[in-house]
Structures are given as structure tokens and as C-alpha cells.
Structure 1
Amino acid sequence: MCLIIFAYDYHPRYRLVVAANRDEFYERTARPAAFWPDEPLILAGRDLKEGGTWMGVTREGRFAGLTNFRDPSSYKPDAPSRGHLVQNYLTSRLDPESFIANLADKGAAYNGFNLLMGTYDSLYCFSNRDKQLCEIEPGIHGLSNGRLNEPWPKVRQGIKKMADCLQQDSCTAEPLFRIMADQEQPPDQDLPRTGVSLETERMLSPAFVTSPRYGTRVSTVILAERSQRIRFWERSFVPGNPHDFNEVHFEF
């Protein structure tokens, strides 16, 4: 994922509300979200190049999602796939503290990442940039390709728009998908400086990213009720078009 806006222990009905976008090269193939035949408790999309995933839930109430940490100066071309971190947490029985404690050198072998993980009882975020595991406080948060709640324009806007959405009498998937479909271009002076060119910063700055070869491939909305009922939607897009998609929906 490249943008995750989420409300944790904030809404009276929902323990967790997630709206997220996965940005990737169009040529990298993936399967839409489904329960995995080899791991039937997992509901997630699947990267067909490396076999991992970017976000998923389980029938037992585990959740994990990952964003890349943008730091081109430290990129390692031979690093293992970060998508296995999400998969490994979802298939494990470990709590987040134990999972990170068992991660060799706290994930130093991987390129930069942020990993959200937890259950109905608690939610944590870990980055291998500072190697700190922090427990998520109740509220609305945003995570892109920097640190948790780092105020990039799409993070600030996503948090504000989710807050507005959750003030409504009923929270549904469609307004959350509209947040993720935003293509507004912020002014140059508001862009982060992450070591890529200004042209690339501009291209990556909207919530929904488009370019000839790279962009938003998938949007995901998760509504996890306090009753432990989960509703999960995923939209897979025709490259470059937030209005042309295939959708899957699961409830359990």
C-alpha cells in the first residue's frame, strides 16, 4: 500500500475503519482479494511475483497492512519482498511485540517499510527505519510512504475527509472510496522531499496516483464492527482510471 487512512477505536459502531490505496507498476500482476486456498483463514489480494500481500484480514480478527518507506538512497535491489511481512503476521499466532522480536534485526534486510498489525484488542505500527514499535492511540490516523501521521498533503486531507465521513449517521464504503479516488494535485511548496525528483513527487502526491507505467492499482475499504463482523471491499482499477474497476465484497 502507499496510503492507509484509518480510524481506530474512534467510531461508536466500528472498532476499525480502513481506506487504503495500493500503488504499483502496472506490469506487476496480482490476484484480487479472496480467501487463499493454501491459507483459508486469510482474506487478501496476492502479489503473483513474490506471493505475499499488501493488506489483509483473517477470520480470527487479525489485520495487517504495509506501506513502503520512500528512501531511494538506501534502496537494496536484492532485498526480500516486504509483502511477506503481512502474510507472515496474518498466518502467525504471535502478538505484534513477539512478531517484531522474532523479526531478524528488526527487518533490516528489507527495504524501508511501515507495518500496521493487530487484532480487535490492539493495533500497532512498526517501521524498520527507526525500529520502533508503537501502539496506536484511539483516533484517526494516516500512513503513506513516510512515518505514521507525517503530514503529507494526501495524509492530511485523508484524515480530514475520513473525520467528516465518520460524523455522518451511517458510515458506508462509497464515501471512503471517494476519498481514495481523489486526484487533487497539491502545490509544490506542500510536497515532501523524499529524494526523488520534483516531477516524481508531483506524480506521487495525490491519493489516487496515475502515470504511464505506475499508479494506483487497488483501493480497499474495511469496516470492522465492534460486534466482530467484518465487511471488506476491494476495487481493482483499469490503469489510470479511478472510475473503471472490478469490485469484490466479503462479509463474515
Structure 2
Amino acid sequence: MCLIALAWHAHPRYRLVLATNRDEFHARPTRPLAAWDDAPDVVGGRDELHGGSWLALRGRRLVAVTNVRRPPEREGLSRGELVAHLVRHDAPAAQALALLAPVAPGYRPFNLLMHDGDTLAYASNLPDAPPDGEDGRRFVMRPLAPGVHGMSNGALDAPWPKTAAAMSRLDAWLASSAAQPDDDGWPDLEPLFAALADPTQAPDDALPDTGIGLERERFLSSAFIHGDAYGTRASTLVLIADDHARIVERRFGPGGRFDGETRWVA
């Protein structure tokens, strides 16, 4: 995952609203949103390379992950394995993440969100830019305060242009009539999908410096990334209420080609 905007206890019906984009190489084999063969109570996309996921839901338990972009590239276990493991865990988020602390430095750099049905927590194993010559991986976690939050491939709520724009558009949606559910329980999600589909690149003076060079920073600065080899593979919206959860995934191929949509109510 490369972009997450979320509203926590900011909607009258849905305690958590999550709007996300997954950016990845188009050649990487991926299964679309569905119940998992080896865990039928889990719903999410699946990485066929390592068996993990970027976002998965079990009932109202949700886990999502983004990578942290700070060269040099750091080796380690697949961060998608964290999603596959934690979504099947039964412990509260704080307890499950505390158990993760001793092994977290062994994973590739990650930001992680975990909702256990009652609380929402954030964790990372590379929360700060490490000093030159040091790996810098260490584990931090904390609960999230109510409100609108966002993250991309940097720190939680870092003011990257696409993160700030997604948060602003989510905040505007919350205040609009589109956020009110219809007779079938679905609000109008198109404004959120439009925010995730925004191809606007940030001006150079607003770009973060993550050590990958200006041209690459530009290419990755839009919410939706159009590319033949690498780009936005899926846009996903999750709505979690007290008694159910809703998830919608739109999938894309090279050049932003629309490849289908799946809706699920749990």
C-alpha cells in the first residue's frame, strides 16, 4: 500500500472509514479481493509471491500496511506477512502489536494500521530517518486519536502533498451529503474514489526528499500513478460500523486500465 487516508470516529455511522491505494509492479502476481482459501473468514487481496497482503479484513478486524521509502533498500521478511498474521490474531491490537515488537526489525520497513473492533493502532519499524551508516529499524506503536489521519511511504500524518490532499478530500466528504448511507446502507463513495484516482503530480518544491531522485519523486507524487510497469494496482474503500463492515476494491492494470470491481459486506 502506498496511500492511506482514514477517518476514525468522525462519521455518525462508520467508526472507521479507510481510503487506500496500492501501488506495485503490474507484473507481480496478485489475487483480487475475495475470501481466502486458507482462512475463509478473512477478506482481502493477496500477494501470490509471498502469500501476504496489503489490506485484509476479518469481521471488523482490519490490518493494513505501507512500505517506508528510505534508501538504501533494507532487506527483511515480507511486510505483507504481518497483515496475513495479525488479521487472524485474536488478541487486542495493543497486545498483538506488543508481541510483534521483538521481531519487527527483521521485516522490511513498514507502517502498519490495526483495528481490533474497538481500537485503532499504528506501528512502524522505521519511524525516523536513520543516521548515515545505520539501519535505523526500531519498533514504535501508539493508538490513534479520533479524527482524520493519513500516510503514504513516510511517517504517519507526514504532510506529503498526496497524503494531505487525500485527507482534505476525505474530510470534505465527511461533511457532505454523500457520506450519508442510502436505503441499502451504502454512502456515495464516488467522491472518495475520485480522490484516489487523482493523477495530479505535486510541484517540485512540495515534494518530499526520500533519497530516490527528483524524477522518481515526481512520478510517485500523485495519488493515482499511471505507469506501464509500475503504478496503482488497486483502490480500496473500507467502512467499519459497530455491527458490520463494507469493503470495495477497484483494480487497475498497466497505464491505469480498469480491471474490475468487487464489493463485500461482512
Instruction: Please report the TM-score for the alignment, with normalisation by the length of structure 2.
Output: 0.89
- Give the corresponding residue for 1:144: 152
Between stretches 93-102 and 12-21, larger displacement belongs to 93-102
- Give the corresponding residue for 2:67: 68
Question: In structure 2, what is the Cα distance between the partners aligned to 1:210 and 1:99?
Answer: 36
Letter in 2 for 1:193: D
Alignment of 1:154-233 (within 5 A): 154-171=162-179, 172-226=188-242, 228-233=243-248
Identity across aligned pairs (percent)?
A: 41
- 1:97 Cα deviation after fit: 2.2
Between stretches 95-104 and 49-58, larger displacement belongs to 95-104
The answer as to 2:255 corresponding to 1:240 is: yes
| Structure 1 unmatched ranges of 5 or more | none
* Contact 2:227–2:256 (CA under 8 A) maintained in structure 1: no
- 1:104 Cα deviation after fit: 5.6
Runs of 4+, deviation exceeding 3 Å: none
Letter in 1 for 2:66: T
Question: In structure 2, what is the Cα distance between the partners aligned to 1:96 and 1:136?
Answer: 12
- 1:106 Cα deviation after fit: 4.6
Question: In structure 2, what is the Cα distance between the partners aligned to 1:13 and 1:214?
Answer: 36
Question: In structure 2, what is the Cα distance between the partners aligned to 1:153 and 1:170?
Answer: 24
Q: 1:104–1:168: structure 2 CA closer, same or farther, 3 Å change rule?
A: closer
Q: 1:98 aligns with which of 95, 98, 102?
A: 95
Instruction: Please report the TM-score for the alignment, with normalisation by the length of structure 1.
Output: 0.94
- 1:143 Cα deviation after fit: 1.1
Question: In structure 2, what is the Cα distance between the partners aligned to 1:103 and 1:164?
Answer: 36
* Contact 1:106–1:128 (CA under 8 A) maintained in structure 2: no
- RMSD of aligned Cα (Å): 1.3
* Contact 1:15–1:120 (CA under 8 A) maintained in structure 2: no
Secondary structure of the structure 1 residue equivalent to 2:97: helix
